[in-house]
Structure 1
Amino acid sequence: MSNELLVGKSTDYPAHKENQRFRGVPSQNITVILPACNQEVSIGSIVLLSRLYADNVVVVNDGSTDRTAEVAMKAGAHIITHEPSQGKAEALRAGFNAAAALGSDIIVTMDPDGRHNPADIPVLVAPIMDGNAEMVNGSRYLNYPGKNAPLFSRTGQAMQAASAKMNFDLKITDTQSGFRAFAASTKSIFRFSGKKVPIESEMLADAGRSGIRITEVEIGAPSPSELSAGAPSKYISGALKTISQDIEANRPLYLYSVPGFALATCGFYMGFKFMEATFFGSASLSFWYTFLMVFLALAGAYMTLRGIVAHSMAGDAKQTDLT
């Protein structure tokens, strides 16, 4: 692992006018974290633009095989290298630790591929600077319910927003946003495990459980052409996968025990009705009826038990990760 800083300026990128929204606000040390893997094309400009709105930029070079680290260092970033790749969760953990070592008051996470505009950093950190929040989620959909958005995109976002409300008790419109701001004091509440769910969802779960104040601000929204670029089936299946992972990790009773109890109830009810009919001599033994009855009862009992065990293990795992 290395942590290097190159002091200097680059003339390879066009000049960018400094954002004036920081004028007149109390001084706070802001560090931007960029987890990056093979992003040599975009990383230089993102680092340079981010430095206009932050005191430090930390690039976690996560197993890159190109010139990502070299370009980022020349642009003036602190470089942390993971060899081999350790994943985004570990990259964020390393970035948060580096930000703490740099004396940061506010930590900003961004994607390094250009989908996030560093000029939105002042908007993102404003609620923390004003003392109104400890975590700010940059949302592409906050004020973009989308008359022009495809139906599948609106459906996917609505499902993920509903999942965030159920799983994290948070009103979040962009659950998978990588553009977020955190008060440095929140560092200890995050597990950075990324084992069962995307790290973006895990951090929301940790934040919701901790009770810190969370708000959303609007950031640049994707254009209709960008939203339409992917196949609807792929987009919806990805959203459903994320939702199921969130429910399994945070509400396993809902995913397993509730439907399992319903199946077991059906199985036992069928068994009761069959026994009743047999007792009165109005029914004879049917293989398929018996098979379905036994299958529903056993499958339902298994799912119910699995949900209870998963719920207990999830609670123990969260406590272990936090300690």
Structure 2
Amino acid sequence: MTITIAAMPAYNEAHSIADVIKGCKKYVDWVVVVDDGSTDNTVDIAESLGAYVVRHEINRGYGAALRNCFETARNLGAGAMVIIDSDGQHDPSEIPQLLEPLKQGFDLVIGSRFVNGNGKNVPIYRKFGMKVLDIATYIAGGLNVTDSQSGFRAYGRKAIDNINLNGTDMSAGSEILIQARDHKLKFTEVEIHCRYDLEDCSSEHPFIHGPRVLFQILKDMEYRRPLYYFAVPGLIGAFMIFTGIILHAISRMIFLNEQIRKQ
């Protein structure tokens, strides 16, 4: 029998994790909580609800917690895994629509906030930042998707066996997409919804999170695609210089015409 699990990194999520675990248990065989050094009673709540808990003694970062999700899935012999945020932003009732494509042969299913015209509730500044990260992830060698930073995804056995994260920070979502392309994983996107009205949401502030992720993606690009890493800024610089020359020539021409008319 194929074992299906829902796994979630958690850090001080005592206010929300009970509802997320209860919601997930309706659709999977096991709920795995990777506690990343919480100082509240996240672990006590998770264990009381029957979750399989993996503990980090100290806070090691989102990427490290996500890596343990994959390791635990392999140890449990899971044939399918859904990764979901533990802060309540995602709706566990959408788990079945992420799992369904796995039955059709897909290895990776990305819950997208923007596919099919979705994402009307996403703040504009978030949309802009996410689009920059989508493009950067693709250029760095990742998949061309509409929501590269989605934390709500489903993975089949091939993906579980092949994805091994190296990073420990929030850029893990992009790293997974780069590895998915390396291993030629078959992927698709499905529509999901995300709440942004939660007071105790654990996500980093987007103006901190975005630049950090972008910096890590650029580091990966330097290693994997040095031509893009060095050529793209160079091309942008060349374009700006060319534009400056053209604008200078135009302004000079206008100035000379003014002088001629005055004579």
Q: Please, what TM-score do these two structures have when normalized by structure 1? A: 0.63
Higher-RCO chain (CA-CA 8 Å, sequence separation at least 6): 2
CA distance in 1, matches of 2:94, 2:155: 15
Q: Does residue 73 of structure 1 match 2:47?
A: yes
Q: In structure 1, what residue type is equivalent to 2:92? A: P
Task: String of CA shifts for 1:70-109, please: whole Å, max 9, x gaps.
Answer: 1001111011111122222222222222222222110111
Matches within 5 A, 1:184-203: 184-194=157-167, 198-203=171-176
Residue of 189, 212, 217 corresponding to 2:185: 212
Q: 2:102 matched to which residue of 1?
A: 128
Gaps of 5+ in 2: 199-204, 239-263
Question: What is the CA-CA distance between 1:220 and the residue it aligns to?
Answer: 1.1
CA distance in 1, matches of 2:66, 2:126: 28
Q: Does residue 245 of structure 1 match 2:245?
A: no
Question: What is the CA-CA distance between 1:188 and the residue it aligns to?
Answer: 3.5
Q: 2:70 matched to which residue of 1?
A: 96
Matches within 5 A, 1:214-229: 214-222=187-195
Task: String of CA shifts for 1:143-185, please: whole Å, max 9, x gaps.
Answer: 3465675543443333333233322352211111111111123
Residue of 3, 16, 23 corresponding to 1:49: 23
CA shift in 2, pair 1:81/1:240, >3 Å: closer
Query: Does structure 2 conserve the Cα–Cα contact (< 8 Å) formed by 1:62 and 1:82?
Result: yes
Residue of 129, 137, 141 corresponding to 2:114: 141
Gaps of 5+ in 1: 1-26, 227-233, 265-323
- How many residues get paired? 231
CA distance in 2, matches of 1:41, 1:196: 23
Matches within 5 A, 1:1-323: 28-131=2-105, 133-144=106-117, 150-194=123-167, 198-222=171-195, 235=206, 238-239=209-210, 241-250=212-221, 251-259=225-233
Query: Does structure 2 conserve the Cα–Cα contact (< 8 Å) formed by 1:167 and 1:205?
Result: yes
Q: In structure 2, what residue type is equivalent to 1:139? A: S
Q: In structure 2, what residue type is equivalent to 1:95? A: C
Task: String of CA shifts for 1:171-218, please: whole Å, max 9, x gaps.
Answer: 211111111111123233223111587111111111111111011111
Query: Does structure 1 conserve the Cα–Cα contact (< 8 Å) formed by 2:79 and 2:156?
Result: yes
Q: 1:267 matched to which residue of 2?
A: none
CA distance in 2, matches of 1:29, 1:97: 15
Q: In structure 2, what residue type is equivalent to 1:59? A: V
CA distance in 2, matches of 1:61, 1:262: 43
CA distance in 1, matches of 2:26, 2:115: 26
Structure index of larger Rg: 1
Question: What is the CA-CA distance between 1:44 and the residue it aligns to?
Answer: 1.3
Task: String of CA shifts for 1:291-318, please: whole Å, max 9, x gaps.
Answer: xxxxxxxxxxxxxxxxxxxxxxxxxxxx
Identity percentage of aligned residues: 34
